[in-house]
Amino acid sequence: MSKTGKATGKVYLIGAGPGAADLITVRGARLLGEAQVVLHDALVAPEMLAWCPQAKLVEVGKRCGKRSTAQLFINRQIVDMATKFERVVRLKGGDPMLFGRADEELQALEAAGIAYEVVPGITAALAAASAIARPLTKRGVSRSVAFATQAKAADGSEVPAAADIQADVRADTLVYYMGRDQAAAIAAQLIAHGKAPSTPAWVVESVSTPRQRSHAFTLQQMAAGEAAGWIDPAQPSLLMIGAALAARATEPVLDVTEPVAAKAA
């Protein structure tokens, strides 16, 4: 029973992974197949929803730069669905616990006395590293990784950029989520705070999907705006920066801008 006295079900916060339907965990896929209702992010691929043909589908997600559902309303929807259904899934892109607003949704569930379980997913940074065949850590080169975002703080204000960059630059490898529009500014600030201009810098778009593309730059090239003309503003993208992302001496020369599936065809 919830604090309102109504019978409640259980809510599962499930990470959908980076995009490909077969990169969800086995547990996540099983729970989708048992769900009565699925509240899913806008970026969750239709192929992913094939795991739950029996469920009522409710799109509640956000797209960068587009009209989206307010988080407070999403919280209320999840709680409301849990008073009507026994098995409710909140399906979130990537991993729920990384840039997924999970804390706000968990607080809402806890305040309403509703049971929940969090099922992890593959976050885009890990999938992107695999896609470009570059490790995020490398013996003798990179022993620390930072996942960062240039999104606004909870109160809507901009987090102080200088403090962010000083913290980021201490990590050997950096991965910026939602940094597409600020690639040149981010790169310039990193150089200004001590990152070498020759540091490898990648852009990876729509990782693990048929639209996947990737392109390598140096940090200096990114700071000069060269990435801006390559990035597709309609696609989710990551900025990946660090010495561990450099080409290997043993690596064959490949056109890495094409999707992996296209090369295999």
Active site residues: 41, 62
What is the C-alpha separation between 163 and 111, in angstroms, rounded? Answer: 33
DSSP label of 21: G
Residue type present at position 118: V
Residue 246 vs residues 6, 30, 132, 138, 216: alpha-carbon distances, Å: 56, 38, 11, 11, 9
Is there a contact between 183 and 231 (Cβ–Cβ < 8 Å)? yes
Is there a contact between 191 and 223 (Cβ–Cβ < 8 Å)? yes
What is the C-alpha separation between 1 and 46, in angstroms, rounded? Answer: 34
Is there a contact between 99 and 125 (Cβ–Cβ < 8 Å)? no
Residue type present at position 171: A
Is there a contact between 196 and 181 (Cβ–Cβ < 8 Å)? no
Q: Is 92 helix (H, G, I), strand (E, B) or coil?
A: strand
